[in-house]
Amino acid sequence: MPLVRIDLMKGKDDSYRATIGEVGYDAMRATLDVPENDRFQIIAERGATDFIVDRTYLGINRTDDCIVIQVTLNEGRDVVKKRAFYKAVADGRHERFKLRREDVFISLVEVKKENWSFGNGEAQYAPS
């Protein structure tokens, strides 16, 4: 169960935000073996004083269109899958919006399966 948080600068319409989420979900399904309907996303717009992204860190030039994506997911995927995911997200956003690949910042946070509760106060994936 990935939990995806997407932050972006204020000013995008509902359709843009919805499609940003779709591209990420499609990329997870294609590259990270995420099951169908396993979609939990929080998309938030931030004002300029609350959305601070270095414009040139690591020699990558970023603009106000930069989006920050944090994905919390079960541990265990290899680097090959992670790289494929990063590329699929950047390419998908570029294809759908002409968003610069340089403006896609992604962070993966891996956790053990027992760190999730899908509801009912239970740890559905925790070992018995």
Could you write out the DSSP letters of every residue in 13-68?
-HHHHHHHHHHHHHHHHHHS-PPTT--EEEEEEE-GGG----SSGGG----TT-EE
Q: How confident is the model at residue 126 (pLDDT cuts 50, 70, 90)?
A: confident
Point out the catalytic residue in the list 2, 27, 69, 71. 2
The pLDDT value given to residue 128? 80
**Is 2 noted as a catalytic residue in this protein?**
yes
Q: Which domains are assigned to the chain?
A: 3-115 (3.30.429.10)
pLDDT grade for 60, boundaries at 50, 70 and 90: very high
Asked if the model's pLDDT at residue 124 lies above 90, the reply is no
